[in-house]
Structure 1
Amino acid sequence: MSVERARALRKVMSVKEVRLWVRLRSLRADGFHFRRQAPLLGYYPDFICLGRRLVVEVDGHHEELEQAAHDAYRDQVFRRSGFQTLRFPTRAVHEDIDAVVGVICQALSAASPTRPLRGHPPHKGEGRDLS
């Protein structure tokens, strides 16, 4: 996976994606960290919260059958690795972004964290020994 490709994709985000990105970034205050166009399992999802294993996609309004099949396969790849995918049409992001963010927040709250939201694990030899 190419870091350069991810950077290039970030530069050509649609207006709707940028609008949603601004809202997702504000969720950091609640402990939810999203990345945009980050490499994941051979793909570059629009947005991903690794701590809650949540992928968020903004789909264009003219989805073709071939694209829909590709998206379904990609969602299956993510699901096999423990990720949930939420897809929103650009129209929903444009017309009711509050509802879109509400659905995302519900999914974040329902998902179990994959790691502690704060702090790092102790170094070897530090912390409590439970053995």
Structure 2
Amino acid sequence: MRNSSVSRARQLRRDQTDAERHLWRHLRNRGVANCKFRRPHPVTGYVVDFVCLEAQLIIEIDGGQHAEAIADADARRTRTLEIEGYRMLRFWSDEVLTRTDDVLATIHAALTSPSR
């Protein structure tokens, strides 16, 4: 399972969406709250879009397919990751592309909040 997760993460890094590439430009090199993020990265049997391991914060970028088709699977995945101690932020792709400052402010607040 570990090898397949790593292989899948590598494939997703190569095939990032425009929104994922855009957000990565801001997150990389400790770009938000001086926190290190990894992009597509295996966590607890799932491959997540972005994760800051030290803050246990996961960021998922959802496209239109998330609206109905896999909402239940996303909810189960979120519950599993939260049980493992991770916090989850979800943004729509168009939100990342058109309201980047708001998205970054939300991420910054999650990283610097006392509950961290």
Q: TM-score, normalised by structure 2?
A: 0.89
Cα shift at 1:62: 3.6
1:52 partnered with 2:55: yes
The residue matched to 2:43 in structure 1 has which SS? coil
Q: 1:56 Cα deviation (Å)?
A: 0.1
Q: CA deviation at 1:52?
A: 0.3
For 1:33, the equivalent position in structure 2 comes to: 36
CA contact (8 A) 1:6 1:44 kept: yes
Structure 1: 5+ residue stretches without partners: 113-131
CA RMSD of aligned residues (A): 1.5
TM-score relative to the length of structure 1: 0.79
Q: In the alignment, is residue 10 of structure 1 matched against residue 48 of structure 2? A: no
Change in Cα spacing, 1:78 to 1:69, as seen in structure 2 (3 Å) is: same
Structure (1 or 2) with the larger CA radius of gyration? 1
User: For the residues of structure 1 that align with 2:11 and 2:106, how far apart are their CA atoms?
Assistant: 28
2:56/2:85 contact within 8 Å kept: yes
Identity of matched residues, %:
35
Q: Across the two proteins, how many residue pairs are aligned to each other?
A: 112
Change (3 A) 1:76 1:91: same
Say whether the 8 Å CA contact 2:82–2:88 is kept in structure 1.
yes
Instruction: For 1:35 and 1:89, locate their aligned partners in 2 and report how far apart those are by CA, in whole Å.
Output: 19
Which whole-Å CA distance do the structure 1 matches of 2:100 and 2:31 have between them? 18
